[in-house]
Structure formats: C-alpha cells, structure tokens
Amino acid sequence: MRLIAHRGFAATAPENTIGALKAAAEYADAVEFDVRRCGSGELVVFHDETLERVTDGTGAIADTPLEELQQLTVLDSGEPIPTLEAVLEALPLSVEVNLEMKALGIAEDVLEALEATGIENRVVTTSFLTPELRRLRELEPSQPTGLLVSRRLVHPVTTAVELNCDVIGANYWRCLSTTLVARAKTVDLEVHAWSIERPIVARLLGYRGVDCISADRPLSV
C-alpha cells in the first residue's frame, strides 16, 4: 500500500506550496495537490475557491490575476501561490503525482501543462467533476484519471467505469463500510482512500484491498 501526501502533508507544512510538496516527496510515494484557474487565466495550485483561509488576501481565486496572487504568502511559508507549471517542474522524478482538478473547464490546460513541462512522473488526474474527467479522456485517452467519490454519488464504481477511469478515490469510512473496494477490484480499478490519521486505520484499509491512502501527516503504513 502506498502513501499519498495530501496537499503536501497539510497538517505539518503550508499546504500546496512547492516547499511542502518537495519535502513530502522525500517521505511519501505520491503527492497530491489541487488545481484551479485564476483571474488572469493561468492554472494555480490552491485548494479553496477563496483566499482568506490560507493567505492575507480576500476574494475568489477565479477573480484574482496571477500577479496579485504571487504577492501573497501561503500561511507562514514565505512562498506565493504557485502555478501548476512551477510545481510540476519542481517535483523529483521519484514521486507519483495526484493532481485534483477543482474547477470546470481546465482539463485541456492541465494536459498542455503536463506536455509543456515534460514531466516523466506518473500523473493521475483526479476530480469530483465528471465533466472534467470525461473531457480529459476525450482529449488524451492514455492519461490516467481518477474519479473522486462524493457523498451524493450513489453508484461510484459504475460511474468510474463509464468514465473509463483508472482510479477511484473515496472517504476511508466508505471504503471500510461498503462494498466499494471489492466492487472496484472486480473491474481493475486502483483504490485510493482519504484522509487517514491513524496507522491502525491504514492497516485495516490495506487488508480490505485499498492501494493508496491519503494523509495530512506522515504515517507508517
């Protein structure tokens, strides 16, 4: 079972910064980060729709140009909000990448960034947004994709198969308390579970057949 550093181990470092992701890559098998479009059109690595929680700025990411975003500091990192390209170029080859698409209409630009940076790592492009996964599959059939399962999604494995995904990701409790993992395995889906805080839960998920666990801090799995 592999360990994914959620937002670069968000409980131990300023989330989604280049520094956090590079540091997490030394410990984890994969790093996970979030991508959305800013007001001037570029793709940036940032989780929330708005700036307030992790910066001194205010307003929506989608309304704020990159020039203004890069004048802000993420938490106490001393680092600005990074572009997707900057993150891809900074990551070591040893680590897998889980790239979550947080907004509609970015699939094509995500693919262009992957091509432009020439990243050789395995990159799984994930999302709760089924239109983005569908669009990405249409544009590049060979790009690994992963469906992230919301609480409202009634038939997650069926949906992942319909989208021709390689991965399905779900809350750890759903992986433990339903037949999701068993059903996913029958159709050769790689299973990711989030967010894990205790090693004993990680071990239970491993026994169940989960391939990767996502955590906000380093865990021994």
| Average of per-residue pLDDT across 98-113 | 98
Q: In the predicted model, is pLDDT for residue 4 greater than 80?
A: yes
Element (H, E) at 135: helix 130-139
pLDDT of amino acid 221:
65
Q: In the predicted model, is pLDDT for residue 122 greater than 70?
A: yes
State how far Cα 82 lies from the chain centre.
15
pTM of the model: 0.96
What tens digit of pLDDT does each residue of 124-172 get? 999 999 999 999 999 999 999 999 999 899 999 999 999 999 999 999 9
DSSP string of 146-190, one letter each residue = EEEPPTT-S-HHHHHHHTT-SEEEEEHHHHHHSSHHHHHHHTT-E
Element (H, E) at 33: strand 30-37
Q: In the predicted model, is pLDDT for residue 7 greater than 80?
A: yes
Percent of the chain with pLDDT over 90: 97
| Average of per-residue pLDDT across 15-25 | 98
Question: 207, exposed or middle or buried, with CB in 10 Å at 0-12, 13-18, 19+?
Answer: exposed
| Average of per-residue pLDDT across 38-67 | 98
Collapsing DSSP to helix, strand or coil, 89 comes out as: helix
| Average of per-residue pLDDT across 17-39 | 98
> What mean pLDDT, rounded, does the chain reach?
97
* The residue to which tokens 């989604």 are assigned: 16
Helices 107-117 & 130-139 angle (0-180, nearest 10): 50
Closest CA to 196 of 212, 216, 178: 216
What gap in Å lies between CA 196 and CA 177, rounded to an integer?
Answer: 15
| Average of per-residue pLDDT across 51-75 | 97
What gap in Å lies between CA 114 and CA 136, rounded to an integer?
Answer: 12
pLDDT of amino acid 220:
75
pLDDT of amino acid 76:
86
* The residue to which tokens 């990243």 are assigned: 119
Domains (range + CATH), the chain: 2-215 (3.20.20.190)
What tens digit of pLDDT does each residue of 164-203 get? 999 999 999 999 999 999 999 999 999 999 999 999 999 9
Query: Is there a contact between 132 and 138 (Cβ–Cβ < 8 Å)?
Result: no
